[in-house]
Chains A and B, each alone.
Chain A
Amino acid sequence: MSRFANRREAFWQGIRDALGAPVLVLFAGMVGFGAMGRSHGFDAWMTGLTSLLMFALPGQVVMLEMFISGSSLLAIGFAVTLTSTRFVTMVVTLFPQLHRRDRNPLLYLWVHMLAMTAWAVSMREFPRMRPQHRLNYFLGLALPCWLISPMGTVLGYFVAGWVPAAVTLGLVFINPLFFLLTFTDVKPWANRIAIGLGCVLGPVFYVLDADSSLLLTGLVAGSLAYWVDRRWLRPRPVVVQT
């Protein structure tokens, strides 16, 4: 039994799944970023291009803030790259689930459309479909998310002056709230513990050193969660009596 008849159907289902919460979340976050770019005196082209070419909201915000505060180019590049290290493991946990035929150099192109939103949804949906349908589902899901981002940014840039602050406030809050809510859908215990520990340790490491805090939290909390799961929670392998 298969959820989709063919790859085209998987692609369209991806599009349909995108045109709900995921697109809304990206759009809202990017409107907030556009408004932020405007209030800091950046030009509209620049702010929109950031969303199209970088497409990583936390990194974009870090770049903007650091540039304003007059950090050196090297420091900006370094801090943004550290913030983006999550992409390494996000890709590593998502792409091995694709069909072997789809794991080719074209992935270097598709990977640009991967953001936390499409990742969270794909991690939830992939186990429910056959491997040969997963890439097309992912593309259907990620493409609208990517395309809406520069549009939201430019819109946010131009409406920043006259939209009430209350509306912008509601919009910028959608982004973190979405990720918080998707955590309740995570099934494996190792990942659940990792989320819990990450929530606690994240702020602690952030106070110690903001730039490297994500990477450090990931390594410490993730490894601890993996170990606890392996040591105590997994069903013991059945020992065959001879």
Chain B
Amino acid sequence: MTADVQGWGMWLALSAACIGTYICRAAGVKLSGHIHQDSEVFRWLSAVTYAMVAALTVRMILMPLGLLATVPVLLRVVICALSLAVMVSSPQRRLVPALLTGTLLMLAYGVFRASP
């Protein structure tokens, strides 16, 4: 397997993916030249973007690829809920404490799972 992956196919895939991603960024620059920030189009596109970003975030939490997928989904949701509670517990928003809460809980689960 390892030897196959090193081939030219991988470099082509990387190039295709980089070009595709950059085209999206460049298209944004091109389009942004015609849009005013007080316009209705701008408000609509903001809502569309936030919906996309929300969908992506939920996907990373509920349907992750890789290591996170080995953690029970209920546990992932509970840890998210606890971190959100820490975040909104102050009007100033406790971003770093909330991030630490989630990360340490996840780490604790990993340690607990690894212990026999």
Contacts and interface: CB of A to CB of B under 8 A. Distances in A.
A193 B65 CA distance: 27
A72 to B, nearest CB: 10
Contacts of B64: 172, 176
Nearest to A169: B110
A222 B47 contact: yes
Majority SS at the chain A contact face:
helix
Contacts of B95: 21, 181-182
B52 A222 contact: yes
A198 B103 contact: no
A167 B111 CA distance: 8
Contact of B32 (A43, A92, A165, A214): A92
B67 A32 contact: yes
Contacts of A226: 43-44, 47-48
A86 B106 CA distance: 28
Interface string B77-116: 0011001100110000101101100111011111101100
Interface in A130-189: 164-186, 188
Contacts of A86: 24, 49, 52-53, 56
Main secondary structure of the interface of B (DSSP, over half): helix
Contact of A116 (B21, B24, B53, B66): B53
Interface residues of B, number: 82
Interface residues of A, number: 109
B12 A170 contact: no
Contacts of B13: 63, 66-67, 73, 76-77
B51 A73 contact: no
Contact of B55 (A32, A112, A164, A205): A205
Interface string B1-31: 1100110011111101111111111111101
Contacts of B107: 166-167, 169-170
A59 B56 CA distance: 11
Interface centre among B37, B57, B67, B96, by most chain A C-beta atoms within 10 angstroms, is B57
Interface of B: 1-2, 5-6, 9-14, 16-29, 31-33, 35-37, 40, 42-68, 71, 76, 79-80, 83-84, 87-88, 93, 95-96, 98-99, 102-104, 106-111, 113-114
Given A76-B16, A179-B60, 6 more contacts: A41-B1, A42-B5, A87-B25, A89-B45, A170-B104, A180-B80
